[in-house]
Amino acid sequence: MASGLAFLAAIMLGHAAVPVEMRGDPAGPRSDQIFSESFEPVQHQLRVERRVIVRITPFSARRSRSDMPVPSATELARAESSASDVKGGCIPLGDVAGVRLAEGRRILLFMRDRSIVSASFERSCPVQAFYSGFYVERPKDGMLCAGRERLHARSGADCTLGGFSRLPPEEKDKD
């Protein structure tokens, strides 16, 4: 019976002859041993990782009319001279409402509490690539930290933040 099964298998597989080790060689493997590998259960591993990517969109003056005034370039230049560094070099990622390009190697992060944080980039970063916002993977602690997170522009640029400065609040005109 065993040699018949091997002969049938050889014909089905397209071989003209039965394997040499099956021709009555008592030391050769039995037919059930040959096919046992094909019936063994196959195990594969599946690894599921949860990644949350956050998109920060550009903060336009049109969108901000009712929400928050967007300072002009001259007001920003004045404000950056009196900016203070952010403690710990981190800001809550969930508090960032929008982004806009600034002068030099900086972008402005508009926060939900109506404050503005200026973020600088490393020297080799093409800052102009971030005109349409950026993507960042949400860190476990929920904080966007200088020197740790990499921002990804839609154009393909990939840069690390250099530091943060909190701009002073805009002073109201006294009438």
Give per-residue pLDDT as tens, 146-175.
Answer: 899 899 998 889 999 888 888 887 655 444
99 vs 42, which has greater pLDDT? Answer: 99
- Number of structural domains in the chain: 2
Do residues 101 and 67 both lie within one domain? yes
pLDDT digit string (tens) for 3-31?
666 666 666 666 555 455 555 555 666 66
Judge if 148 and 124 occupy the same domain. yes
d(CA 59, CA 65): 11
pLDDT tens for residues 116-155? 898 988 888 898 999 899 999 999 999 999 899 899 998 8
pLDDT of residue 123: 85
101 and 157 part of one domain: yes
Q: Are residues 81 and 147 in the same domain?
A: yes
- Which of the residue ranges 3-7, 33-37, 75-79, 94-98 would you say has the lowest mean pLDDT? 75-79
- Give the residue numbers spanning the domain of 32: 2-39
C-alpha span between 138 and 132 (Å, rounded): 19
Q: Does residue 18 sit in the same domain as residue 89?
A: no
List b or e across 47-56, with b for residues whose CB sees 16 or more CB atoms inside 10 angstroms.
eeeeeeeeeb
Output the pTM of the full model.
0.62
Q: How confident is the model at residue 99 (pLDDT cuts 50, 70, 90)?
A: very high
- Let me know if residue 139 belongs to a domain: yes
**Cα 64 from Cα 70, distance rounded (Å):** 7
Same domain, 84 and 153: yes
More confident residue, 93 or 59: 93
Say whether both 27 and 95 belong to one domain.
Answer: no
Q: Are both 13 and 82 inside the same structural domain?
A: no
In a domain, 142, yes or no: yes
pLDDT score recorded for residue 26:
59
Domain identity same for 78 and 108:
yes
Q: Is 47 a domain residue? A: no
Same domain, 58 and 33: no
Q: What is the reported pLDDT for 174?
A: 44
In a shared domain, residues 77 and 139: yes
114 and 33 within one domain = no
